[in-house]
Structure 1
Amino acid sequence: MKVKKFIASTMPEAMKMVRSELGSDAVILNSKVVQTQGFLGLFKKKNFEVIAAIDSTEPSTQKLQLKEKNRKLPDENKTEVIREHSPKLPVLNEKTQTIDNNLVKELAELKSMMLELSSDVSSKFEKYPGPLKSMNELFIDQDIDHQIRQAVLSELVEKWYSNQNSGSFNQVQAWAKEAIISRISSFQYGGLSYTKKYVNIVGPTGVGKTTSIAKIAAECILKDQKKVAFITTDTYRIAAIEQLKTYAKILSVPVEVCYSIDDFQQAKQKYENYDIVFIDTAGRNFRNKKYVDDLQKIIDFSDEMETFLVLSLTSKLTDMKEIFEKFSSVNINKYIFTKVDETSNYGAMLNMILQYKVGVAYLTNGQNVPDDIVEATPTIIANIILGEDVR
């Protein structure tokens, strides 16, 4: 265990020093108010002393060297070594300090919360102030990953004490929103960039790939006046072909059914003068390395194609991760999260974004074409997770 003492003029500043040097998993072992010596005993200044620790397994050789070093120290220095590495021993002071009872209570609460942040994921953190406790329970209900939740809550604890131990739930919610947005804003969001001709929509069956294609294509045609065409390689399901043909007829766009790479090559030539070509794939295609290798000979995935992975929010997080891994043979540019209206659990979006470093293109919340689709932004995602909806 690595133990270190921090001294700062305010408790929030001390906590920032702890997190900066030891990380968010650090545990507060002791905290108190200390007085610095002033000039001729005057002008003393109140500071906060925090002793924090983090688990770290030292190599046996380092432990042996430290042991030998301590063994050679004179008696008067041994006390200081023991104090630094054994926080359970009391720190002796020559002068008795008068500490305000309210401050002692605040320090005790802060220590308790920091210890709980490093405790088991199932803990309900009953000792949290009301708004922080409610936010923690919201994160748990949303199935947000424990490490993400722990990091965000650490920020909220600091803000709470920086705000003089006060704040409504709405204020804490605003802090949480800022924390979530700051973590996911570095990735790409929003709909089609129109920098790539081919839009490849991949994902397992039943997540809404074909309906999503129709919604995005309708926006291209009606809003942006683009010339659109469809290609489907999902020849394993007759219903999927007929559904895409129905949408193509409604939107007055051509559709080609490709049973082989040669068919795909011919379709590519046929649609040479089109602005955007949507490709509806069968889930099993991209699990076949030969299919991917052959397709890459026809289309430059980097320069000509952007790929959206469609995931249903009604799926389990473990299933979403498995799906991502299966389709990772091609570069996934963005997610499309579907069935927002069919669940009340949205934490998987945050987990998937942060684990795989992939942003979101669209969110769909119904079956209506061309409606029930929203271009995603970090703010919209944070709002949904925290209780605001896009319906």
Structure 2
Amino acid sequence: MKMKKYSAETMVEAMKKVRADFGEDAIILSSTVVNSKGFLGFFKKKSVEVVAGFDEPAPKMEEPVLPFSSPPIVSVDKTSVELKKEMNEMKKMLENMQQSASHSRLPDELKPLLMHLEKQSLSSSLITQIGEEIYNRMKAEKKDFTHEEQLLMTKQFLEREIGNLPFGGISFNKKFINVLGPTGVGKTTTIAKIAARALLENKKKIGFITTDTYRIAAIEQLRTYANLLQAPVEVAYNSEDFEKAIANLADRDVIFIDTAGRNYKEVKFVEDLTRLIDFSLDMESFLVLSMTSKEQDMKIIIEQFNQFAVEKFIFTKMDETSSIGPLFNLMKDYQIGTAYYTDGQEVPEDITEAASEKLISLLLKGAYDA
């Protein structure tokens, strides 16, 4: 990593210097406010010192060929994650085998619906339950059901499974809206969409705190949205900065907290959040997940965040996937509802407040298309 120290009168000027040398992918390693000594104790002046770095791609090295290869040494955490992944894959394979055996005895009239649910990646358990419920009613009533009747029974089943979970956007009962999630899921854009709705539709005075100080581009992206919304932004590099930011935004109705996008499969990054953010505040926390991620990866992220009181999920990139079954699987497994789902980059248009009936309709859309 290349590193360099910068001095400037303000953080903004320091960031300009960093960006000029290292570009938008620069990493901020530390920042310090420095007081000059002045003359005879007077005319003291503050300045900012920033240490920034840039990761250069490491050259690939050929591994030596050894006569005997020793087993790789891995951390306990990584071993645990890999083992859990393998166990889940085996469990899924067994469920698929059981599902195939179960489906073979169901009438052909149900096959199109069940195949559609499989393509949507709904869990084997839920698909089997749906098929069995409709089949048992067919036997009890001694009749075949139309496609419309099958869809209605499927909707009723899913409504019973998830309808009791909380749905819908922010309640405005809490001052702080904390948005969590791994890198690449679109947290900052999602925050901007929610904040714009709060400002334009609910007439709330909004403000932003970003703790995503790892990359300059993340701060600048939030500043761009905040400028468009004419809302203040505070940057928190540590817990002391976070407390000052809260004080500076005391007059705001709602304060949106943009957390750093990191690889939260690693426990240490989750622990960093607890040291930086005061989770005892009057706060609603939302976990953002991308529908383009693997379901097993999303489960690992959810389990890493289980120490926080996650109110609801926010699912992004719905327009980039052809299967939304994992959304239902996760809600069912973790008993957590959904606040919003997004389907594009436009702010604030491409975001929808979630409701169980909307999501079920999306899941079943096209079930009987030729």
Moved over 3 A (4+): 283-296
Alpha-carbon distance between aligned partners in 2 of 1:285 and 1:350, rounded to the nearest angstrom: 24
SS in 2 for 1:330: coil
User: Match for residue 141 of structure 1?
Assistant: 119
SS in 2 for 1:161: helix
**Structure possessing the higher relative contact order (Cα contacts under 8 Å, 6 or more residues apart):** 2
2:103 is the alignment partner of 1:125? yes
1:164 to 137, 142, 159: 142
SS in 2 for 1:333: strand
The alpha-carbon deviation at position 283 of structure 1 amounts to: 3.5
Distance 1:299 1:269, change over 3 A: farther
Distance 1:253 1:344, change over 3 A: same
SS in 2 for 1:121: helix
Alpha-carbon distance between aligned partners in 2 of 1:364 and 1:351, rounded to the nearest angstrom: 18
Q: Is the 8 A contact 1:234 1:282 kept in 2?
A: yes
1:300 to 275, 280, 291: 280
Mapping 1:1-391, distance limit 5 Å: 120-123=98-101, 125-284=103-262, 287-288=267-268, 291-295=272-276, 298-301=278-281, 304-387=282-365
Q: Is the 8 A contact 2:103 2:128 kept in 1?
A: no
Q: Is the 8 A contact 1:143 1:348 kept in 2?
A: yes
Distance 1:285 1:279, change over 3 A: farther
Q: Is the 8 A contact 1:233 1:257 kept in 2?
A: yes
TM-score (norm 2): 0.69
Q: Deviations over 1:241-277 (max 9, x none)?
A: 1111110011111111111110000001111111110
The alpha-carbon deviation at position 162 of structure 1 amounts to: 3.9
The alpha-carbon deviation at position 119 of structure 1 amounts to: 6.2
Give the letter for the 1:129 counterpart.
P
The alpha-carbon deviation at position 223 of structure 1 amounts to: 0.3
Q: Is the 8 A contact 1:285 1:291 kept in 2?
A: no
The alpha-carbon deviation at position 127 of structure 1 amounts to: 4.9
Structure 1 unaligned segments of length 5 or more: list them. 1-116
* Corresponding residue pairs, total: 270
Alpha-carbon distance between aligned partners in 2 of 1:299 and 1:362, rounded to the nearest angstrom: 22
SS in 2 for 1:191: coil
Identity of aligned residues (%): 41
Distance 1:388 1:119, change over 3 A: closer
Give the letter for the 1:176 counterpart.
T
Alpha-carbon distance between aligned partners in 2 of 1:362 and 1:119, rounded to the nearest angstrom: 34
Structure 2 unaligned segments of length 5 or more: list them. 1-94
Distance 1:388 1:205, change over 3 A: farther
